[in-house]
Each structure stands twice: as C-alpha cells, then as structure tokens.
Structure 1
Amino acid sequence: MKELTTDELQEQLENGADLNMIDVREDDEVAQGMIQGAVHIPLGELPERMDEIDKSKSYIMICRSGGRSGRACEFLEAQGYDVTNMIGGMLDWHGEVE
C-alpha cells in the first residue's frame, strides 16, 4: 500500500498540486474540520459510492489516525483503484481545515 505523511501532503498542497482526496471519517468527525478540497465518503458508504470515484485518477485516503483510510485503500486497491493512505490521519494534520 502506498503511503504519505501529513507533512508530505501539506507540502504538495502548498505547492499547488491538484490532488484528489477522500475523507472516510464519520459525519461527526468531519464536522470538526476537513482538509480543503477533500470529498467526504464515510468508510461504510464506499462500496455503494464507488461510482463517484474515477478509476483513471489517483486518490489520497484520509481518516482520523490512518487505520480506516488504510482499510479503504485495501478495499479500493482490490477493485483496481490507485490510492494512497495518509498515515497519521487528521490527528497528525497541522494544516488548515475547512
């Protein structure tokens, strides 16, 4: 599984990289703030919402600590998607949230 740190993601965003990010946390967690530009698809809804994810694009998966996003990566990789897990999750995120 591909991984990147919160610092690596923040650096890419600050450098203007056009990234596709999916936050798999629950509604109450996302209400506390998401990384700007991330799309919210709770982990439990991934199977029925896969039509919202373009197989031709790469995605960075985000959760609270990196565990659920890791499971999301495993699931999506098995379906043929190009995904990267943000290790450390939002607990390690020091950038801005919306």
Structure 2
Amino acid sequence: MKPEQLEKLLENNAKINVIDVREDEEVAQGMIPTAKHIALGTIPESADSLDKEQEYVMVCRSGKRSMNASEYLKAQGFRKVHNLEGGMLDWNGELVFY
C-alpha cells in the first residue's frame, strides 16, 4: 500500500489497523496516528492477540521489516495484511509523538 492510500483511508476513518514494527527509539521519532506499536521481534507472540478478520497495514522505517511482518502474518492465516511501501521514509502525513 502506498503512503498516500493509507493517509486517505485514515482521513476517511476507514476500519484499518496500522501496526508499527519499528524499535522503541524509532517510534519515539513519531508514529502514524492510530498506529499500534508492536516491535518486529514480538510479532510472533503478539499475533494471537490480533483478529484475523481485521485489515492491517504494517509499517517500519523503509518497508523491509514490515514486509517480513506482513508475510509472517499471512502465513499465520491473516488475509488482509498490507505493507506500507517506503515505510516512514515516504510518509508525509501527520505524526504523533508518545
């Protein structure tokens, strides 16, 4: 999924879950609003808490780690999983800081 597509979906309050798989220090630099932080290394243990019927967009810095997370979830039976192309490097939308 391209960043512009995700931004439009979020602006329209679409039912889509954004999962940020970056490390804590990366997330401190800003996250996409509504994103949930689940570091890549904890995806396997966190997958059980995610609803396989929901739609997800996985996000990292450049799109490589989130692609791995997307592929992992798909292998676990998640059907509606997308990777944010270009990751946060290509995200020009709003950021939130925690």
Match of 1:74 in 2: 71
* Higher share in strand: 1
Structure 1 CA distance for aligned equivalents of residues 74 and 15 of structure 2? 21
Runs ≥4 residues deviating over 2 A: none
- Give the structure-2-normalised TM-score: 0.92
The TM-score with structure 1 as length reference comes to 0.92
Say whether 1:59 aligns with 2:56: yes
CA RMSD of aligned residues (A): 0.9
- What is the aligned length? 95
The equivalent of 2:94 in structure 1 is 96
Q: Mapping of 1:1-98 within 5 angstroms? A: 4-82=1-79, 83-98=81-96
Deviations 1:6-63 (A, max 9, x none): 0111111112212111000000000111101111000001111112211121111011
Gaps of 5+ in 2: none
Identity of counterpart residues, as a percentage?
Answer: 56
